[in-house]
Homo-oligomer: A and B are copies of this chain.
Amino acid sequence: MSEDRPAPGTMRPRGRTERVRAAVLAATRAELEAHGYAELSMERVAEIAGVAKSTVYRRWRDPVGLLVELIADLSSSEVPLLDTGSIEVDLRGLAVGIHRFYSDPVWRPAMLGLISAAVLDPRAAQALADFFRTRNDLAAESVRHAIERGDLPPDTDPVQVIRSVGAPFYYRMLVSHEPIDETVAEQAAAAAIAAAKAGAYPVRPDQKG
C-alpha cells in the first residue's frame, strides 16, 4: 500500500535506463506500424528492442502502458495548430491536421488502441483525458482570438468549438465505421463554425466566473 518509489534522489533516468526506454518505444512504434495494435505483444516488443521481456513488463506492465507513454511523448508537436486571424482557415486547418494524424501508420493504431483500451483501463482513460484537455485548450486559443475580433459571439465556449471539430472523426472511426476523407474534414470545420456563429456553444453557467 505504501509508495513503492525508491529513496528520493536515487533514480537513474540516464544511461542504460534511457537507452532501454528509447529502444522499447522505438520497437513499439515499429510494431504498430508493421502489424497494428492487434499484435502489439510485450514479448515481441522486448525481442525487437533487444531487452528482456521481464524488463518491459516491469516498466510498462502491458501494451496499454506502452501506448500511454507513446502518446504522452507526443503531447505537442504533430497536428500543428494555426492562428491565422481567420477562424475559418484555423479550424479547417485543424480538421485537416486531425485527418492527417489518423492517416499516419503509427499514430492511428496508437491512438485508436488507446481509445479502445480506455473503455476498460483507467490509466488509458486518464492519459486520454490529459492529452485532450491540453491539446484542446491550446487549439482553443485561435477561437478565443476570433471571439476577441468579434468573429464569433462573445459568450462562445472556445473548447466546445474545438471539440465539435474533432467529434465527427471519432464518430466515424469508432462508432459508425464510415470512411473519412477531406470532405468530412471540410464539413466538420464548416459545421463547427456555423454552430458557433449561431451561438450554439455558449459558456455553461457552471463554468462561468
**What is the interface of chain A, defined by CB distance below 8 A to chain B?**
36-38, 112-113, 115-120, 125-126, 128-129, 132-133, 136, 160, 163-164, 166-168, 170-172, 174-178, 183, 187, 190-195, 197-201, 204
Contacts and interface: CB of A to CB of B under 8 A. Distances in A.
User: Copies of this chain, how many?
Assistant: 2
A200 B194 CA distance: 7
A160 B187 CA distance: 10
A133 B179 CA distance: 13
Nearest to A124: B177
B166 A171 contact: yes
Nearest to A133: B176
Given A38-B120, A187-B200, A168 B177 contact: no
A89 to B, nearest CB: 16
A129 to B, nearest CB: 4
